[in-house]
Amino acid sequence: MSQRPKIHTLGELQSSPWRSRSVRGEIRENLLQRLRTKERLFPGLHGYDDTVIRSLVHALLARHDLLLLGLRGQGKTRLLRQLPSLLDEWMPALSGTELREDPLAPITTQGRRLVSEGGEDTPVEWIHREERYREKLATPDTSMADLIGDVDPVKAVSQGLGFGHEEAVQWGIIPRSNRGIFAINELPDLQPRIQVGLLNLLEERDLQIRGIPLRLDLDVLFGFSANPEDYTQRGNLITPLKDRIGSQILTHYPKDLETSQRITDQEAWTGREGVTVRVGDPLRQVAERIAFEGRELTDFVDPRSGVSQRLSITVLEIVHSAIEARCATLGTSTGQARLVDLFASLPAITGKLELVVEGEREGALAVALTLVGKACKSLFDETFKDPYDKRRKDPTENPDHAVVGWFESGNRLDLSDNLDDEDHWASLENVPGLEQVMQSLARDPKWSPGQDLSAWKEIFLEGLHQHGRLSRDLHDGKLGFGDVMSGILR
């Protein structure tokens, strides 16, 4: 933060290079300057550069109010909260007024009186751009008094004012956002009559409080966020209000795993003191794929609700917590992620899913378990040969031949989360053929030399289960693999 300007009176301000600009004009000029210098506009927002941010830039240059429309967990609020970065760092305002009025163009009776009485000695204060952003979560009980204001009878009587006097008004959050940005999250949740009350504000800036007509030249950039109108039955966005909002910008989920992973790595709390946690690449990929699989599983998950990016964030945090708990129990300072740690994240998944009728019938836990399995399967299919490829005349060419044969001989592999890493990975080495599959994978040019492929062994086994080649059971932090027939009998 730069130092606050050393200008304290109206006279000093008039003698300075500062000039009055509207909020929209201020944002427009600063935005154009950043575009010329190729400065990153909204740090921390990934995957939006060529879509949402492009549309947002066009809207701001057109001096439009904004509506960000999209499903939950798409960064709408985060984007709105970054808009103040396009304002000037410091803004002068008349000292002693409630509406942060322009010293060169006051809009209230009180402001004009202060300038008339004080002249060039009228005191001026400076407001930082972070103080010029106000936000309100729309709820059904939000009233016009909250947004616009109401007559304060105590104020009117104590100052000897009539109830119709402008100075008897206790201003709401929108007038107090004058010369700044005001955002309403979940706009459709506002009662329709309250939405109607915003119509004139967006066009003529007219206010009406208990029948008292007021006209204040408010200077506010409005930003709104909303889910699609058919997302819930809580409310709708009335058409006249929607028509008055300059630009409606559609947000979206990350379009690829790489972008999604950057967001998750940025937002997830993974720095655990006293323990070093390692999450291998395959398990890290699976953690990210769960949300993508959820967005595709429309038979169980409501596509109108979407699957929030918060799902990937909370899954990664739970995986780290599972490793941290194991390290504390075993008295070690380092730990590596295992497949069972991903299944430990089921409680973080269930709360992020809005299920349709079929999903409710299956149950949230079963759907979450399905998503983890499908995420493992998609990674398996991209990495290993198809275990059902019948074009191979010799079945020994299939990568699963030796592995499945060992299980069909009556063997079983039980993995527990209370084993230390060395014993855990050693138990996997007991499966014949599994190491050979990993060695062939390591010879693939896309894999870097010396890469730890231990976690791929678990992905391979889970992938065989998803293809119906092995049975798998999960209970009390224990993961067991066996042949299909034994699994059916159990």
Q: What is the pLDDT of residues 33-59, one digit of tens each?
A: 999 999 999 998 999 999 999 999 999
Q: What does 391-459 look like in DSSP terms, one character per residue? A: T-SSGGGSTTHHHHHHHHTT--EEEETTS-HHHHHHHHTTSTTHHHHHHHHHTSTTSPTT---HHHHHH
Domain C-terminal end among 193, 226, 250: 250
Q: Is residue 2 in a domain?
A: no
One domain, residues 329 and 346: yes
Residue 203, in any domain of the structure: yes
Within this chain, do residues 243 and 264 fall inside the same structural domain, yes or no? no
Share of the chain above pLDDT 90, in %: 61
Confirm whether 4 is domain-assigned: no
pLDDT of 373 reads 96
Cα–Cα distance for residue pair 307/320, rounded to 1 Å: 21
Mean pLDDT of 449-462: 84
Segments forming the whole domain that contains residue 472: 257-489
Residue 168 lies in a domain: yes
Among the candidates 196, 223, 250, a domain finishes at: 250
> What does the block give as tokens for 286?
């699976």
User: Does residue 453 sit in the same domain as residue 484?
Assistant: yes
121 and 230 both lie in a single domain = yes
**In the prediction, which pLDDT does 231 show?**
47
Q: Note the pLDDT tens digit of each residue in 405-414.
A: 899 998 999 9
177 and 265, same domain (yes or no): no
**Domain tally, the chain:** 2
Q: Are 9 and 123 spatial neighbours (Cβ–Cβ below 8 Å)?
A: yes
Are 178 and 148 in the same domain? yes
pLDDT in tens, 127-139: 999 999 999 999 8
Please say which residue of 250, 282, 315 terminates a domain: 250
Residues 192 and 301 in one domain: no
- Does the pTM of the predicted model rise above 0.85? yes
* Same domain, residue pair 235 and 316: no
What pLDDT, on the 0 to 100 scale, is given for residue 230? 47
CATH label of the domain that carries residue 245: 3.40.50.300
Least confident among 290-294, 307-311, 476-480:
476-480
296 and 415 belong to one structural domain = yes
